Amino acid sequence: MRQIVLDTETTGLEPGEGHRIIEIGCIELLDRRVTQRVFHQYLNPERAVDAGAAEVHNLDDKFLADKPRFAQIAAEFLKFVEGAELVIHNAAFDMAFLNSELRRLGDAQADLGRHCRVLDTLELARRLHPGQKNSLDALCKRYHVDNTAREVHGALLDAQLLAEVYLAMTGGQASLSLDAAAGKFGAQAGVPAAVDRAGIKLTVVHASEQELEAHRERLAAIRKRSGGKCLWPE
């Protein structure tokens, strides 16, 4: 299964008020293992960044001035996520902004949900941990994911942290390491390599008649002691 862990940073909180995306960060997972494929892009939003938003992600107008517009990277972004399941924390927020950007390109009905399935890790966390804090920082603490590098929000770093949290929440996985300078991700040392089972023939050992008879006697005893409520048929 191909999944894309995705996060965005924006100029403000409401796309309906004209706020725009200024950063997209994506990490690819194949069958619950991180690959070396990432999508990361800063964007010129063609408007000012709200002061409150800048305090959260530390991205200002001067830094973004020479970055590409969303229209310039839209095709590359859609190609990267096409057909994957998007793993997003508070998906409604990011999807609203992404759909707003897509609709600015001329299709008033554009919807990223037509290209991808969406899994909201905030909803998942609320089901698993009702009544508890389920912010990304809270989940990092709960699942022992190191988030000390998260002095400010950043789409690529937050996607990397979310990938670790998601894998821990849904069954565990080797932790991921982030080389911030190179933008590369990989499993840490000590993770067992996948076993190649090609060509392996398993021997099937059937129960003997004596073993089957002992099994039937055990079930009969269980049925007798349970008043006929044995769950296993003979």
- Read off the pLDDT of residues 14-42 as tens digits, 9 standing for 90 and up: 999 999 999 999 999 999 999 989 999 99
Please say whether the dihedral angle defined by the alpha carbons of residues 122, 125, 130 and 136, taken in this order, is positive or negative.
negative
Q: Encoding tokens for residue 175?
A: 């932790």
Looking at the structure, do residues 105 and 33 belong to the same domain, yes or no?
yes
Q: Name the domain count of the chain.
A: 2
Looking at the structure, do residues 71 and 183 belong to the same domain, yes or no?
yes
Looking at the structure, do residues 138 and 211 belong to the same domain, yes or no?
no
- Give the pLDDT of residue 16: 94
Whole-number mean pLDDT of the chain? 85
Is the model more confident about 182 or about 59?
A: 59
Range of the domain at 213: 203-234
Rg (CA), the chain: 24
DSSP characters over 61-101: HHHHTTSPPHHHHHHHHHHHHTTSEEEETTHHHHHHHHHHH
Looking at the structure, do residues 158 and 62 belong to the same domain, yes or no?
yes
Looking at the structure, do residues 11 and 115 belong to the same domain, yes or no?
yes
Would 197 be classed as within a structural domain? no
Residue 167 has pLDDT above 70, yes or no: yes
Looking at 66-70, 117-121, 222-226, which range is the least confident one?
A: 222-226
Would 193 be classed as within a structural domain? no
Angstrom distances, CA of residue 148 to CA of 91, 97, 152, 176: 24, 28, 10, 14
153 is annotated as an active-site residue: yes
Looking at the structure, do residues 161 and 216 belong to the same domain, yes or no?
no
- Give the pLDDT of residue 185: 41
Is the model more confident about 153 or about 234?
A: 153
- Choosing from 19, 57, 89, 153, the catalytic residue is 153
Looking at the structure, do residues 132 and 226 belong to the same domain, yes or no?
no
- Give the pLDDT of residue 208: 82
Would 195 be classed as within a structural domain? no
Q: Is 173 within 8 Å of 162 (Cβ atoms)?
A: no
- For the chain, the 3-state helix, strand and coil shares in percent, each to the nearest 5, are 40, 20, 45
pTM value is 0.72
- Give the pLDDT of residue 148: 85
- Give the pLDDT of residue 225: 67
What contacts 185, CB < 8 A, 6 or more positions away?
Answer: 27, 34, 35, 36, 38, 160, 163, 176, 177, 178, 179
**Matching residue, tokens 């200024």:** 22
